[in-house]
Structures are given as structure tokens and as C-alpha cells.
Amino acid sequence: MKILWAFIKKEFLQIFRDPSSILIAFILPTLLSLIYMYGINVDSVNINLGLKLDDANPRVVSLARSFSNNQYIRTKVYDDKDAMYSDIVNSKLQGAVIVPNDFTVTLNNGRTAQILVITDGSETNTANYVQSYASGVIYQWLETTGYSKQQVSLIDPQLRIWYNEKLDSHYFILPGSLAVTLSLVGILLTALVVAREWERGTMEALLSTRLSRLHFVAGKYFSYYILGICSLLFNVFLCIAVFDLPFRGSYIILFLVGSLFLLTCMGIGLLVSTIFKNQFLACQISLVMGFLPALLLSGLMFPISSMPAFFRYLTAVLPQRYFVSFIESEFLAGTISDIVLINTVYLSCLCLVLLFLVYKNTLVRLEK
């Protein structure tokens, strides 16, 4: 134990004297959290919409006013249809609404009237927003003018939103982004430590002592786990206290599962560092293995169920997938035993496998 504690003390001194560790553990997560909070938004977007009203009925004017009063729509009324088409082609407008000249007459006669909605399909998401916004405004206008009451509705749906009543995307993006930041923290911190020992020549000095393989692995894990768990607590504090996100789960379970995820990421970083022994190469591989899977394949931005079969199977070996599922549930829905249990089991298996690989690949003597 004296040897182990001496090695841990050496690691902490190295951490405190190396500003890059503090930069990775605290400054990098803060910058990422700010980007995810204020730079990324998958909620409703503002669109520029063209209006051409061929029907001069005052009710149609009120429909145009309904479009203008929508907080997400900036409208521009056109008299020339070709000019409106030209603005869509030149990306000045994301969509257009054309009301035909027989619109109110058709409605007054109890028949189905038509409105042409044109969207710019070059941006699929924006086109869907234009379509849904225009439909919503039109249906709301029909309700207020009384046209919708001409037909008896057989279904009266009542909509209730659970967990994220405000439909604020930051409520799930920011907690899910903890998987990205902790991946970078856990993998980057440990991916450089063993490679740094080899490049600086201190590994030879360590191998000449009574330091065993178990001492080396345990000391690396313990030292950087403490730094990583401080980073986790700091990020959770930012989400709850600074960004005012709701938290409905258990802090103890969050700490335990977060620790397990952090140890898994540290195992990836240590494995990369022990294999390649080069800081630059280890850093590049860690970014590829940590950032890209956490962002693209974890289910944070894109549903796993909609991915091709190959990538769905690939996500089974990614720890970020299980932590994103867990952390979003903890923040939005609370502690759900089934979700906690299944994700903990998978993370435990990955953590043990990586610990075994790190232990087996850690050298205890110099190669000839």
C-alpha cells in the first residue's frame, strides 16, 4: 500500500503541475455546455414566409394577419407570383402560401377549399417546419372564424405532454451532452498519461522500481477518477443551478452510474495510451473514439432505432449509448429501475472488459 499511495501522490502532483488536465476537466466541459445550451437548438425555428392573397375577402386578410402574428413566422405579402418564386429560389424565403381567388366562396358553400403551401425542399427539416407552421395557423384560423364548426367532429383529441411539458429541446440535449463531455474528459485525460510517461522517459524510471502492474493500473485509475468525478459534479451543477434544468432523479444513483461510465471511458483512454505510446496519435484516436460516437451514435441527436442495422449493432459496444439513455431519464422522468438496471449491467460489462485489456497490455518490463 505504501508503494501504491506513493504512486498516487506522484500522479496528483503531476495533475496539479499540468494545466492541460484542469483545462480538459473543467474548461472544456464548460465551453461545450455553453455551446449545447445557446448554440444548438432543435426547437421551433424562425422562417421567412411569402404570402400571395388572390382572394380580397376581409376574412382572407385576417388569415394573413394570423400568419403575421405567429412568433415563428416573418411574412412578406406579394402581388407578383414570379417575384415570390424568385425569392424562394434565391433562399430569401423558406416557403410561400397562396390563397386562390375562390377560397372564401368555396368555404361559404360548405365545400373543401384549397390553399397552396410551397416549401424549399433543399432543407428537409426547414421544409417540415414550414408545412407544420402553415397548417397550424390555417387550422387555428378556421377555429376562430367558425368554419370548422360546419362539420361535426367525431374525435376530440386531448393532448398531454409528459416529462418535458415545455417541449424545450435543451431539457434532453444538455443532460445527454454530459455523455459527450465525460467521454472527452475520461478518454482524453487517460489517453495522454501513459503515452506521456513513455515520451518523457519516466516510464523506464517507474519500471526500475518495485511498482507492479496492479499498482500502476490502480494508481492511474484512482487519480484520474477523482479528477473526472469532480468534472462530473461540476457539469451537473452547471445544468441544474446555472442553466436551470429540472432534475427528477436520485443524486446518489447519478453519482454511481456516472462513476461507472467515467471508469469505462477511462479504460478506453488507458487502453489507447498503452497501445500507441504516442501523445499525438493517442489524442487523435481518443477524439475519434470519444467525441464522434458520443455525438452521432449514442442516440443523443439521432434515434438509434432509425439507424441502419450495422450501426445499431455497433452502438451495442458504445458506453455512451447507455449513459445517454440513463442520464436523460434521470433528468426528465426520474429514477426508473428498469432503465437504471439494464444500462448499469451493460456499462459494468464494458468496464470490466476494458479493465482486463488495460491490465493485460500494461508493460512491466522494457521491450528488447
The Cα 226–Cα 195 span in angstroms is 20
* For range 148-175, the mean pLDDT: 69
In this predicted structure, what is the pLDDT of residue 104?
Answer: 84
pLDDT band at 358 (very low <50, low <70, confident <90, very high): confident
Cβ atoms 185, 235 nearer than 8 A: no
Q: List, for residues 57-101, the tens digit of each pLDDT value.
A: 888 888 888 888 888 889 999 988 899 998 988 888 989 999 888
pLDDT band at 149 (very low <50, low <70, confident <90, very high): low
- Range in 82-86, 152-156, 278-282 the model is least confident about: 152-156
The pTM score is 0.78
DSSP state of 1: -
In this predicted structure, what is the pLDDT of residue 359?
Answer: 87
Cα→Cα distances 189→118, 238, 250, Å:
51, 21, 27
Task: For the beta carbon of residue 161, count every other beta carbon within 10 angstroms.
Answer: 8
* For range 150-170, the mean pLDDT: 66
Give me 24's grid cell. Answer: 480538459
Mean of the per-residue pLDDT values for the chain? 83
For domain 47-150, the CATH architecture is 3-Layer(aba) Sandwich (3.40)
The Cα 285–Cα 264 span in angstroms is 16
pLDDT band at 367 (very low <50, low <70, confident <90, very high): low
Each domain of the chain, given as residue ranges in start order, spans 17-40+167-361, 47-150
